[in-house]
Structures are given as C-alpha cells and as structure tokens.
Amino acid sequence: MRKVTIKDIAIQAQVSISTVSFVLNNKGPQMAISKVKIEKVKEIAKNLGYIPNMIASSLRTGKTKSIGLIVEDISNQFFSELAKVIEDQSRILGYKIFYCSTNNDDVRTNELIQSLLQANVDGFIITPTAGSEKNIDHLIQLNKPVVLIDRYFPHKNVSYVVMDNYEAATEAANLLISKGFKDIALVNNTSGMIQMQLREKGYMDALKKAAIYKEALVLHLPFQSTEQQRIEELVSFFKKYPEIDAVIFSANYMGLAGLQAFKQMKYILPKDISIISFDDHASFRLHTPTISIIEQPIESLAIKVVEILMDQINNEKEFKVQKIMQKGKLILRESIFSNN
C-alpha cells in the first residue's frame, strides 16, 4: 500500500500543501489558519492513516523528540522502575525513549552512545560505567544535552541526579550498631563506581567511629560473576567468618544471592544474622522474614533528571550544570534482630 503524503491530505481537504504542513506541525493558529480548516485537515489525516515522516521532521527542526536512556541493566528492578518513571515523564512532554543496557561494559557503552548519536536523539540520560568518562566528554564536546543518574564522576562538570549513598550507608550501619551488633559485614562489588565507593565509605566510617571496623569483614564480589558464583563466594565468606552477626548488601542483586546462600547454610533470619540491602526488590517484601532495605527515591530522581535534561534541550546555550543529591529512606522490616 502506498504511503499517505501531505499532498494526499491537501487534495482531499482542498487546501495547499503548506497549509497541511502548518496544521500537522501545530502551527495553524500561528499562521492564522481557521479552526474549522485545522479540524478538517486533522480529521482527513486521521481517516487516511497519515504517519508523519520523523526523519524529514528532524531535518527541518533539528529535533527528533527522542531521548537515549542508557542504564546498567534494564532487567534489574531498580533500573526498570526508574526507566518507567522517566518514560512517563518524557511522554507527557512529547518525547519518546530509546532504552539500552550496558551490563557495566565500557565497550558496549561506547557502541550504544554512537548508535544513539546516529539516531540523532535530542539528549542522553546515562548511568555511566567506570570507563565511560571519555564518552561523556565526547557528548559534552558535541554540545549534546546529557545528565547522569544513579552515579557520577566527581571531577566532571556534568549534571547528575543521585541518592546520597554515603549518608544512607552511614545511617544503616549506625542502626545496626545501635542494635548491639559487633561483627557487621559489608558485601560490595568490584565495579569501583562512585556510588559503591560511597556506600562502603559510609559503612566503614560508622564502624570506625564505633571502634568495631574489621577489614576482613568486607567482601568484594566480581561484578561480572554469575548468580551461582556469587552464592558460592558468599557461602564461603560467611563460613569463614561465622562470627558475623549482621550484613549490609550494597545492591539488591547481591542481597538476593545472600538470601540463597543463607538458605544453603540453613541460617535462620534474623536469629542467626540480620540483613539490610540497598535497593528494594519484590522478593524482599515476599521473603519470610521481610528484608530491611535502603530505598532510593526513584520517582523524585527520575522526575528531576527529566527536568534537568529538558532544561538543557530547551536552553542549549544558557543552562546551568546541576549536581543533585537526594536523601534515601531506610525501611525497617523483619530481618533485623536486636542484640541489646
């Protein structure tokens, strides 16, 4: 079937091609086209099944009304919930989203950014990988609107929206200390990203202040390990240090592996060990006992990142770099036992 063109609409509406173009680009009132004629053109376009040529529109306006969203793993509940709010907010503003996952792979991150540049997206929202600084620099040099989310590069002059990871980890560690725990472990990964560093530092500073910090009780799981490999390492770690009475997991996928490790070890929670995990997960709410978590303010993070990106898109030469840090929320459930 032949594609419907604005010429077809113009012939049926008995108006000029330019009139149809103005109407379909929402410039009818601006060009003094009557309401009756505007409604007639729109109705005919709808009846004919007209589909706008986005490439042609992009060439005219320089905009595609699209945003590239690059996250670590769209299948992770935190990132999927974040992406959903970003998509909803963007759609309200007339923008569509291209989703991409990096799996924390620097090479893939570069490939995705290049592909989105070729697609001429109007802006980028990115959870960067450790080695993606040059890619971010490249976008800035191209004057492409870009905002980082969930993590950032401390010395880069680029906008970001993140949770205050240091404060959240400190609060979680202090809670466990106040409950009387003496051998508190931390399970982190080897990614080296700033948010993971800050979570570890918050934990470490709180325990050092209480004079109970033990370096041996910090486990770093290889980032690219499989779930089974994580479970095996966790079982080995907790068997090696049976004195551990509480643990903070730095991400929900590590917490999920931890629950499976404890099941294998026949630990009874929270009698044998108490747990707090960063980032919620449906399984944490369904588990018996329910798992205490540090909840990121997903909705406010997503709304703010879209707001900042839109400011850059609409004010390319006048926008200010914004560095936003929002407070997390410690949600206490049944996985913490009081030793006092």
Asked whether the predicted pLDDT for residue 52 surpasses 80, the reply is no
With 0-12 CB in 10 A as exposed, 13-18 as middle and 19+ as buried, what is 272? middle
**Structure confidence at residue 1 as a pLDDT band (50, 70, 90):** low
CATH number at residue 243: 3.40.50.2300
Report which secondary-structure segment, H or E, holds 194. helix 194-209
Taking residues 293-318, report their average pLDDT: 93
Residue 224: predicted pLDDT: 83
Whether 23 maps to a domain, the answer reads: yes
Taking residues 5-33, report their average pLDDT: 86
Query: Is the distance from CB of 323 to CB of 305 less than 8 angstroms?
Result: no
pTM score > 0.75 for this model? yes
| 302 shares its domain with 292 | no
Asked whether the predicted pLDDT for residue 309 surpasses 50, the reply is yes
Asked whether the predicted pLDDT for residue 73 surpasses 80, the reply is yes
Q: Which two tokens stand for residue 75?
A: 């299948």
| 144 shares its domain with 185 | no
| 202 shares its domain with 232 | yes
Supply the DSSP string of 296-325, one letter for each residue: --HHHHHHHHHHHHHHHHH-TTT----EEE
Taking residues 11-40, report their average pLDDT: 87
Rg (CA), the chain: 26
Taking residues 48-59, report their average pLDDT: 64
Taking residues 252-268, report their average pLDDT: 97
Average pLDDT, rounded, for the chain: 92
Number of domains in the chain: 3
User: What is the C-alpha separation between 174 and 336, in angstroms, rounded?
Assistant: 13
Count of beta carbons in the 10 Å neighbourhood of residue 262: 20
Query: Is the distance from CB of 264 to CB of 237 less than 8 angstroms?
Result: no
| 25 shares its domain with 78 | no
Whether 338 maps to a domain, the answer reads: no
Taking residues 54-73, report their average pLDDT: 74
**Higher pLDDT residue, 191 or 336?**
336
What's the half-sphere exposure (Cβ side, CA atoms, 13 Å) at 27? 7
Which structural domain, as residue segments, surrounds residue 10?
6-52
| 286 shares its domain with 307 | no
Task: Classify each residue of 126-152 as buried b or exposed e, where b means 16 or more C-beta atoms within 10 Å of its C-beta.
Answer: bbbbbebeebbebbeeeebbbbbbbbb
